[in-house]
Amino acid sequence: MVKVFAGKRYCEAMNFAAFAHRKQMRKGVDIPYIIHPIECSMIVASITQDEDVVIAALLHDVIEDTEFGYEDIKERFGQRVADLVQGETEDKRLDQAKKHTWAVRKKETIEQLKEADLDSKIICLGDKLSNIRASVRDYEGNKEDFWQRFNQTDPDFQGWYYERIRDILSEELSYTDAWKEYDELCTSLFGDLDLDEVEKRLNEV
């Protein structure tokens, strides 16, 4: 892990990511957004020492959430990194309200993840573990209003999304400490959900 983080390319990617996310904060809290991709890359580096994969984890939200695109990443860090980041990028349908497209976007993510390669699944695990860590911490301090910060305010629907991803990732990554922590935090935050029943409700919305 230390070797990857000390490398020139990772440091360059860190600077690029920090600049790309410079105006962004985490939802509902006064924390610079860059903390999330850094944590994601650290989780990924606990699973693989593949520098491209770790760098892609650091940059995983750049195409989706900043003014920089695929070609910017390809030019700086190579096609493999750019392809991995593209694979983590959601079609946000910017011409529509996010709360109205939440379900279709998350279903697309789940279907894409089923067919994704192992490197992409490792990045997804890093991303979702970082997110759920933050959610558990913030939920404990603000249970009444916590879910209102999200485009989807129903915790059961959020739980359906996180747990469907958990189940897909379990096929290849259940041996990792990261997946085990993710599994525990899903149960802690969402309880024992009937995912099929929740999905049925979601389809009726």
Could you give the residue numbers annotated as active site?
64-65
What is residue 69's three-state secondary structure? Answer: coil
Residue 176 has phi, psi (to 5 degrees) of -85, 150
The distance of Cα 69 from the centroid of its chain, to the nearest Å, equals: 18
**Which residue is listed with tokens 């390809």?**
74
Q: Residue 95: how many CB atoms within 10 A of its CB?
A: 6
What's the half-sphere exposure (Cβ side, CA atoms, 13 Å) at 90? Answer: 18
Number of residues in the chain: 205
For 150, the token pair is: 């999200």
For 89, the token pair is: 């990028």
From the list 68, 70, 17, the residue with the least C-alpha distance to 39 is 17
Residue 153 has phi, psi (to 5 degrees) of -95, -5
From the list 33, 13, 37, 43, the residue with the least C-alpha distance to 179 is 43
Measured CA to CA, the distance from residue 82 to residue 89 in angstroms comes to 11
